[in-house]
Each structure stands twice: as structure tokens, then as C-alpha cells.
Chain A
């Protein structure tokens, strides 16, 4: 049994009488590539919000490695190596793309409270940011204000910001949502090319992509974990078929 990178133990989230997450548990081994699927409104984003500390669970715990991080603030969990991207693009509109990524790098390095040297003097961060942007085919956009970019490019900036924190655990909430299929394959190539020890959980609706990049799959339905397994197991599961295709289980 390999080491555990991230563990959710019986997470619950309720709003009034509405249960968005019911006893959701999940264990990710170090370096695992794991897909989280489920119909719209199943509670996938809520689950990511609970893992990252955006929301406080009504019950349950989150562990990064051995450490219980349930009481830690979002930024403290990032410091422990867990980063996320947002389903709904959340960027810094009037900062340039380069500034945004440089900021993420400086935050990671603990240099963002430096007030006596200019940003440009941190040339190491600038160079690293440029390399990252090149890797995501954003080199030409580096100097432009983020808000001037096309939607597809903004999705890439979203990923660039997450990668700039050099995560050990990366949570991707529909990273390729709303970008053309050819480009979304490209996005996942970059993600698949990350170092093997980076643990990745990604939410994705495109089953082809899920089957191509995931080693294991979790299916969330109506706030509860329906099943977990290999892509093949999930693809052949009658309950999953029913959820997705509305078919009655055969036999």
C-alpha cells in the first residue's frame, strides 16, 4: 500500500435541510491521477471546496498526509502543497498574465511581503513565470492584462496560477470547461506531463478524457459517493450507466 497524499473522511456539508455532500470519503495515493465525475449539481465543486478550506464541513475531516487540516485556513493548506483551480474562472482582471504568475511564484517562495525590492528585480521569478507560460502556450500573452484574453486563454491562466504554486496535490475543477476539444486535450497533456509524484484529482464531464488520464474514478451522485473503481469498472457499472443514461439496469 503506497503512502496517502490526501484523505477525506466522512465529509458532510448541509445548507439548511439541503445535503450537498453526504459522508463523502476518498483516499488518494501519492502520485495518483483520480477523476471525480457525476451529474450537474452532484456536489463535486462543494467537495473540492471542503478539501481546500473554502467551506467548513458540517462533519468529517480532511488529512494531507498524516496531518489533519480540517481546521486550517485555505492559504495554510496551500502552504502544505494542496492547490486548486476554479470551475468558474477566477483571475486578477487588470493584472497582466505575467504579473499574476509572478505573484503566485513569489507567494510560494515567501517573497510576496518583500517591500524594498521591485517586482522586476526578482528576475528569477520572472524567468520561471515565462517558462511556465511558454509551456502553456501563453508566451505571447504574458504582457497583456488578463481581462483582455479570450476565454480559452484565461482557462490556461487559471491552470498556470495553480502550477506556479508547485503543488504536491492538485485539484482541478473542470479545467477544460468551455474550451474547444483540441485545446482541452492539450491542457490535459500538460497536466499529465507533471512530475509523477504530484497527486491529481480532476473533475471532468468528457468521458474520453476521464478514461484516458485517470487511473481511478469516483462517481458522486446527489451528494453521496456512488462508487469508486478503475475506469473500466466504472464504465461497466450498471448504476453508473443508469445515472448517466437514465437506463434501467439490465438483468
Chain B
């Protein structure tokens, strides 16, 4: 066999697999371009870095819900429980003398993961409505617990006095928010790379299959419960990291970090961008928050009205969210371009 033929033979399975649409973890040019946008914003929109950080952090939060809801199909109205738990973990560390950011993130992830793992057993049983109620209930429990434990959490006044050390001992968290933005962007990106790998893997495929038809999975030899427990735990850990980022970059934790509104808005952002696609989580969050910032500046009542209308339109007429519509438009355009 010649060298060329040998290489062709080795490359064959991969080319075939790609042609059939099996998930690969390869980066496309569009994706690279996508990630250059937030980098460019850092240099070009230095007046908006505070809003920018909020978007990046919420995008990470939405990403964590996307794994649970978009991929594994577990509906949740209480995902803020893990966000808040992460935020309080990192906040309390910073308040009580441990201001090192990265270890704070990791500890917040661990605490949120533990809470996610423990509650997952309640969540994975039952169907959509049961899950909706259980997650909602868990969210309310966490909120009330933080409210009552005011001597630890600061209650309704929030947790202030969070002091952060320099990132890597070098970058101070400045008032302009440069460090906060760069830090949030890098953490989001790392989490995104992880999530991207996860959803392209056999594990990710099995989650999609659970979403599509959970009753068929045991007939393939898979325990649905154990898959969902893992997915839910990972989702909780990522949400905890997002919460910790917010606490560290704003050096404050409000009770609203655990609130029902945060959970509910997150679902809206995800549905808006396109659940079950990682970029849907990021795009939905960015559009939602930019629109919110812009419209609520004009009139806060209007904002609620428009977002309500948009949600109804998306759910009724544009299933798959913005990315779903974009996909359909692309497909239609391709069909037209082909003779």
C-alpha cells in the first residue's frame, strides 16, 4: 500500500462519520469569529464592560441550564438555587478572609455540585410537571433558607464586604471592570469548551436520546436515572461557578441571586436563543440583556411587555429560538441556491 493510500484509508472512517453527521468536536471558522466578538468588545467598548461582564456571567449560567434542559430535557424553574449557592460560597469566602478568586470558583463549584447531586434524586423522577414543581420548590427553599440565615448571608440587605485578592496575584479587580470582564470571559470560554466536548461525546448523545425518548433508553441497556443525575450535577456545578463569578466581580451577593425571577428569566433567555444548542444559550442571553438594558432605560414597564410578546412569538412561531430560525433560513437559502 502506498503512503498516500494508507493515509486515505486511515482518514476514511472520520470522513465517513462526518458525512453522516456524527458529532465531532472540531472548531469551525464561524465559531472562531463568534468568540472574537467579546474579545473585540473588551477593546472597543470599554464603557460597557460592567454590562459586558454581567452578560458573560449570565451566559455561563444559561449554558449550565442548557445542558440540563436543552440537552437532557429536564425542565427546571429553580436553577438559580445553584447560582446563588455558588455566589454565597464565593462571597462568604471573600468576606471572611479568603479572597483568592480561582480557588473560590472551584469551591463554589464543589458546593453547588454537591447540592445538585443531592437534589437530583428528587428531580429525575417524574415527568415535566413534577420536575417543574420540584425544582421550583427547591429554589424557594434555598431562597427562604438564605433569607432566614441573615446572620450568615446578610438576608435582604445582601452580603457586602466581600474582598477579593488580585487575580493570579497580579490583576486587581478595578472599578472600570477590565479585570472582571477578562476574567469572566476566560471562565466562560473554558466552561464552553468543556460543554462543547461534552455534548459532542457519547455521553452528550445519550443525553439527547434521553430527552427524545426516555422510555426507550433502558431497552438499550442505559439507566436513565444515572445519566440524568450526572447531567444535573454538572449543570449545578457550572451554575455555581457563574454565581461565584458574579459575587467575586461585584463583591456583593444579593438575595435575588437565588430568586425565582432569576430562574425564570434564564429559561426565557435560553428559549429565546435556542435550547439544546450551546450557542443558543450565549446568544439568547446577550440579546436579552442588551435589549433589557436598552429598553428598561426607556421605560421599565415597556420592557416586560416586549419580552412577554417576544416569548409568545418565539414559542408559537419560531421553535428552536433564534438559532433555530437562522438554521431554517440557511437551509431554505441553500435549497434556492442549488439549481
Which B residues between 1 and 37 are near A, CB-CB below 8 angstroms? 13-14, 16-25
- In the bound complex, residues from chain B placing their C-beta under 8 Å from that of A106 are 202, 205-206
Most buried by A among B18, B24, B219: B219
Given contacts A92-B209, A119-B22, A143-B19, contact A113 B216 (CB under 8 A): no
Q: Is B198 an interface residue (CB 8 A)?
A: yes
- Decide if the interface of chain B is mainly helix, strand, loop or mixed: helix
In the complex, the chain A residue whose C-beta lies closest to that of B19 is: A143
A142 at the interface (CB under 8 A from B): yes
Q: Is B201 an interface residue (CB 8 A)?
A: yes
B152 sits at the interface (CB 8 A): no
Q: How far is the CB of A73 from chain B (nearest CB, A)?
A: 7
Residue of A nearest to B230 (CB): A113
Q: How large is the interface on B (under 10, 10 to 19, 20 to 34, 35 or more residues)?
A: 35 or more
B202 touches A122 (CB 8 A): yes
Q: How far is the CA of A18 from the CA of B250 in the complex (A)?
A: 64
B297 close to A (CB within 8 Å): no
User: Which interface class (under 10, 10 to 19, 20 to 34, 35 or more) fits A?
Assistant: 35 or more
Interface string of A115-129 (1 = CB under 8 A from B): 111111111001100
Complex alpha-carbon distance, A178 and B173, angstroms: 67
Contact residue among B17, B21, B221 (Cβ-Cβ distance under 8 Å from A123): B17
Q: Is A90 in contact with B22, judged by CB distance below 8 angstroms?
A: no
Q: What number of residue pairs across chains A and B have CB atoms under 8 A from each other?
A: 140
Residues of A within 8 Å of B216, CB to CB, are 86, 90-92, 161
**Is B215 positioned at the interface, with any CB of A under 8 Å from its CB?**
yes
**Distance of B190 from chain A, by nearest CB (Å):** 15
A56: shortest Cβ distance to chain B, in Å? Answer: 14
A78 CB to closest chain B CB (Å) equals: 4
Shortest distance from the beta carbon of A164 to any chain B beta carbon, whole Å: 8
Tell me if B205 and A119 are in contact (CB < 8 A). yes
* The 8 residue pairs across chains A and B that have the minimum distance between CB atoms: A123-B13, A78-B221, A74-B218, A92-B212, A120-B17, A115-B203, A75-B218, A120-B22
Known: A95-B212, A161-B220. 18 other contacts (CB 8 A): A53-B218, A75-B223, A78-B221, A92-B209, A95-B209, A99-B22, A99-B205, A102-B22, A103-B205, A103-B209, A118-B23, A118-B201, A119-B200, A120-B14, A123-B13, A127-B13, A130-B20, A161-B216
**Chain A interface (Cβ < 8 Å from any Cβ of B):** 52-54, 73-75, 78-79, 83-84, 86, 90-96, 98-100, 102-104, 106-108, 111-123, 126-127, 130, 142-143, 161-162, 164-165
